[in-house]
Structure 1
């Protein structure tokens, strides 16, 4: 579990590919202070497991499912990446609940300056997931916890303050560049519960519309 508050930017030292499997070695400093084998580290918003490390880098495996569903497949040696360690139980919750499970990649459509902020307009590859995006709700881009400004049919905008821009890989992102998107966890769970509620409660040939107390009790939520 992460919070979407980036701790540092790392640099890809090695990108090994064999088919759709990858081994990544990332140069870093701050996140190596207490690293252990098996630790979870978010790399551009993707939760990965440390399989080796030394005083200046750590190594992770990327399985084919992650390769297909994220922008990690485009990494090259020298590429900068956002890094965050898993949240400690006694840590501050500075962003929002981030799992490091990318829902869909997306494309930056535009970028413009608005006084002291930079506004990015982003189109998810999977537009059906736009149902999880709400104005002023939380969203994660490349592991960064951000607030949605505007929502369109197939795109949304976020506004980035100078500090966040300077401390993350968004500083170098331009229209056409790709980002990993993770939508707010709460919306995804509610949608899943509602879909089961409609399926089990609706008469044949009709669509149900309510998540009832009986449904929650039946499925162990009460």
Structure 2
């Protein structure tokens, strides 16, 4: 008699909501400068500010907090065009997210900065690097960008890193104990992206295997070859 074939459990990639409120922001030395900038508004050193930091460092979270406070609209650098600049600045405040080399219209950005200055609007630009490291063809735009004050976010210290792991688990409604958090904190790269990726892996594989997320599962999945 042939053995029974058990159906494989499927792991569905469901979206996981991440709260971007002020109360839900995890504070630490790595992001203190960014949080101080947001809390200082509208007393900024310049009406246009640049928030730089590695992937997952909290740039979007801080931008969302400021947008709520300032009534700012949000767009991405890639989506910005000369035609939509006036509408983007309609509320007098704008977040321009995810500024990447080669992935934006230089003339549209130059138009934005000029119009923002003319209308005394506030602009917060987020990117992984400072503008001085980005190649710009338009000389006037290059000069304008490099004059923007930069506030930098850093990779997390140990305390913040552990708190991030707990938060990413909570965002996915994963119940984990201290053993899991401690194992992850000492086995993966200390970065926001690595913490998010490890928790995503544990969640996905735990669901697929029908197993709770424990230290034993973490050891199996993260053991180096």
Q: Place the TM-score, normalised by the shorter chain, in its bin.
A: under 0.3
TM-score (norm. length: structure 1) = 0.26
Larger radius of gyration: 2
Of Structure 1 and Structure 2, the greater helix share is in 2
Structure 2 length-normalised TM: 0.26
Q: Which has the higher contact order (CA 8 A, sep 6+)?
A: 2
| Larger fraction in strand | 1
